[in-house]
Amino acid sequence: MFVGTPARHGRCPLALLAMAAIGAGCGGADATEGEGGPVPGQVTVVFAEGTTPARVDDLNAQIGAEVLRSPVFSTWYRIRLPAELASWLGCRFYEAQPDVVACMVAVELVTD
């Protein structure tokens, strides 16, 4: 099952489709050191263009989450959720916000 609704705003970025195709959040094994896969307790949130870092911090504070990786050339943030909050519930929270385009379980990708 793909967690997130990338088409909610009528857009479905190709990268989000690629994540779905490789099985992000499909119940596979969690990522371990040096291996790829879903990362428990972390989500990738795609914010709308123009969303400020202060707004991202305000939303995170509402649920006790924190930014792990801020974007440089995009609007994709890696966010750590509180331990008691399941990733799919975290995505539900973010997807309910008008500033959010999509949310998905975070995935570590590795290359050989």
- Residue-wise pLDDT for 35-92, tens only, equals 788 999 999 999 999 999 999 999 999 999 999 999 999 999 999 999 999 999 999 9
| Confidence tier at 109 by pLDDT (50, 70, 90) | confident
> Residue 33 pLDDT more than 70?
no
CA separation for the pair 106, 65 (Å, rounded):
14
> Residue 29 pLDDT more than 80?
no
Provide the greatest CA pair distance for the chain.
39
How many angstroms from the chain centroid is the CA of residue 90?
9
